[in-house]
């Protein structure tokens, strides 16, 4: 078997092979109406071929930016389009693609890669760990009342218009580049969020509302008329209003949008997708049990390709020092690093000091964005703590001032 890079000329064979791996047909439209492969970057694709040149496997990567804790923004590879023909599975084709891809990403100078996993058992062996999580909230309309904020002078839950802003109703097709601009503002301040390159919006590559599938869009504008949030939704069977995504530059805008969709007439229940776990929304309901959580799952998986660069790229909200022994069995590498954090910035250098924590690179990926507490992985038996205070110190260091969340599908 051989692995080779793709060019634009390989698009058809790449898309055909990938669809065959998933048992689908490229000519059958998928939900959402977007042609997702128009966003593929064919100069970043890989094809696995048999000795006689037949394509049997694919892997691709997008060029994204990822927002890290401390509102720093780093380039990252968004691994995608991974598939191996059913006739050639469990013979090491994916492993060969992953090995080739990781080497190529490093040769491009990239230090982070991310993906969404179709199955949770596939990617840990390649050094990826789940790093952000997501939920779906189903709210029966009759329980949907929001409580007034209890803090005096709080701006947390103003009625629509009370903050000087207003919600305008548009159709997806009327939005022009407004959603793209609002999303870009939002993602720059949200750890775990990915950029959505212009070509995604321009070609409708992705799930609604990136795709041009019919949607209503509740667009929030601030007191000066500047768009600062949106909720894209559709009204389906059984009077269920489903919100694809709610994007807001702050909590007050988020509340105004939620208030809007919850107030929709002729609706029995509202399903809100992509809610970050522990989001304040549940606390805003008068009835704490109003929202039923489902679809509680991992979303973005993170892989560090260069530990010191990745750790120095993010911001930190506590000072301290930790020695990390990091094992990377897939790449057959092991490193011990002294992480020193002062005033929000880290130094990370090789050391021979005794380790505080020993961990697999996939577990470092899980804690990297601050969405998984290192102590949880110590308690789960995955990270080894060499002294009693180390898990608590690691929790304080790796925590993000705002929980990471990603709602981009790719």
Ligand X SMILES: CC(C)(COP(=O)(O)OP(=O)(O)OC[C@H]1O[C@@H](n2cnc3c(N)ncnc32)[C@H](O)[C@@H]1OP(=O)(O)O)[C@@H](O)C(=O)NCCC(=O)NCCS
**What backbone torsions phi and psi does residue 216 show, to the nearest 5 degrees?**
-90, 145
In the complex with ligand X, the residue whose CB is nearer, 236 or 329, is 329
The DSSP string of 157-201 is: SPPTTTTS-EEEEEEGGG-TTHHHHHHHHHHHHSTT-B---HHHH
91 binds ligand X (CB under 6 A): yes
Q: Which of 82, 300, 341, 393 binds ligand X (CB under 6 A)?
A: 82
- How many Cβ atoms from other residues are within 10 Å of residue 77's Cβ? 26
Q: Is 319 helix (H, G, I), strand (E, B) or coil?
A: coil
Active-site option among 123, 183, 233, 285: 123
- Distance, CA of 252 to chain centre: 23
With CB under 6 A as the contact rule, which of the stretches 31-39, 83-91, 168-176, 261-269 interacts with ligand X?
Answer: 83-91
Q: Which of 66, 76, 77, 84 binds ligand X (CB under 6 A)?
A: 84
55 binds ligand X (CB under 6 A): no
Q: Is the bond preceding residue 137 a cis peptide, omega within 30 degrees?
A: no
Q: Which of 122, 166, 317, 396 binds ligand X (CB under 6 A)?
A: 122
In angstroms, rounded to a whole number, what is the distance separating the alpha carbons of residues 406 and 299? 7
CA proximity to 272, closest of 285, 259, 286, 258: 258
383 binds ligand X (CB under 6 A): no
Q: Is the bond preceding residue 209 a cis peptide, omega within 30 degrees?
A: yes
Q: Which of 92, 161, 280, 295 binds ligand X (CB under 6 A)?
A: 92
Tokens matching residue 145: 């009342």
307 binds ligand X (CB under 6 A): no
Q: Which run of H or E residues covers position 110?
A: none
In the complex with ligand X, the residue whose CB is nearer, 58 or 195, is 58
Q: Which of 51, 121, 152, 352 binds ligand X (CB under 6 A)?
A: 121
- 133 included as an active-site residue: no
In the complex with ligand X, the residue whose CB is nearer, 173 or 297, is 297
54 binds ligand X (CB under 6 A): no
Site string for ligand X, 4-23 (x = CB under 6 A): -----------------xx-
Write down the least CB distance from residue 123 to ligand X, Å: 7
The stretches of 222-338 forming alpha helices (DSSP H) are: 251-262, 281-284, 307-313
In the complex with ligand X, the residue whose CB is nearer, 3 or 122, is 122
In the complex with ligand X, the residue whose CB is nearer, 23 or 225, is 23
In the complex with ligand X, the residue whose CB is nearer, 73 or 122, is 122
Rg of the chain (C-alpha set):
22
Q: Is 2 helix (H, G, I), strand (E, B) or coil?
A: strand
CA angle 95, 110, 410 (to 5 degrees): 65
Q: Is 344 helix (H, G, I), strand (E, B) or coil?
A: coil
Write down the least CB distance from residue 341 to ligand X, Å: 34
Tokens matching residue 294: 């489902």
- 64 included as an active-site residue: no
Q: Which of 30, 87, 95, 294 binds ligand X (CB under 6 A)?
A: 95
2 binds ligand X (CB under 6 A): no
332 binds ligand X (CB under 6 A): no
329 binds ligand X (CB under 6 A): no
In angstroms, rounded to a whole number, what is the distance separating the alpha carbons of residues 394 and 373? 8
State the catalytic residues: 123, 410
Return residues touching ligand X (CB under 6 A): 21-22, 82-84, 89-95, 117-119, 121-122, 125
């Amino acid at each position: 078997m051989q692995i080779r890079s793709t060019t634009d000329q390989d698009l058809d064979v790449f898309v055909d092979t990938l669809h065959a791996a998933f048992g689908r047909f490229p000519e059958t439209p998928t939900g959402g109406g977007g042609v997702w492969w128009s966003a593929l970057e064919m100069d970043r694709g890989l094809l696995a071929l048999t000795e006689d040149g037949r394509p049997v496997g694919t892997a691709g990567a997008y060029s994204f930016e990822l927002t890290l804790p401390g509102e720093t923004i780093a380039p990252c590879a968004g691994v995608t389009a991974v598939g191996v023909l059913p006739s050639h599975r469990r013979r090491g084709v994916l492993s060969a693609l992953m090995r080739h891809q990781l080497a190529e990403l490093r040769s491009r100078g990239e230090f982070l890669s991310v993906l969404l996993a179709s199955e949770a058992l596939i990617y840990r062996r390649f050094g990826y760990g789940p790093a952000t999580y997501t939920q779906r909230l189903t709210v029966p309309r009759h329980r949907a009342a929001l409580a007034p904020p209890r803090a005096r002078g709080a701006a947390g839950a103003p009625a629509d218009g009370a903050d000087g802003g207003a919600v305008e109703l548009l159709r997806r097709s009327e939005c022009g580049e407004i959603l793209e601009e609002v999303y870009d503002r939002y993602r720059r301040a949200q750890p775990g969020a990915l950029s959505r390159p212009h070509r995604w919006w321009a070609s409708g590559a992705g799930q609604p509302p990136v795709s041009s599938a019919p949607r209503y869009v509740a667009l929030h504008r601030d007191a000066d008329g500047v768009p600062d949030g949106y909720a894209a939704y559709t009204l389906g069977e059984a009077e269920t209003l489903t919100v694809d995504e709610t994007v807001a530059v702050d909590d007050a805008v988020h509340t105004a949008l939620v208030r809007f969709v919850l107030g929709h007439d002729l609706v029995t229940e509202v399903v809100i997708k992509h809610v970050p776990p522990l989001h304040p929304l549940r606390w805003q309901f008068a009835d704490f049990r109003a929202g039923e959580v489902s679809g509680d799952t991992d979303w973005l998986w993170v892989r560090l390709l260069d530990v010191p660069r990745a750790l120095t790229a993010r911001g930190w909200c506590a000072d301290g020092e930790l020695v990390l022994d990091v094992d990377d069995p897939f790449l057959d590498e092991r490193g011990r690093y002294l992480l020193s954090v002062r005033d929000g910035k880290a130094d990370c250098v090789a050391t021979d000091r005794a380790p505080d924590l020993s961990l697999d690179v996939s577990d470092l990926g899980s804690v990297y964005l601050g969405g998984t507490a290192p102590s949880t992985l110590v308690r789960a038996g995955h990270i080894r703590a060499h002294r009693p205070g180390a898990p608590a110190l690691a929790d304080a260091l790796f925590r993000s001032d705002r929980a990471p969340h990603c709602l981009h599908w790719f």
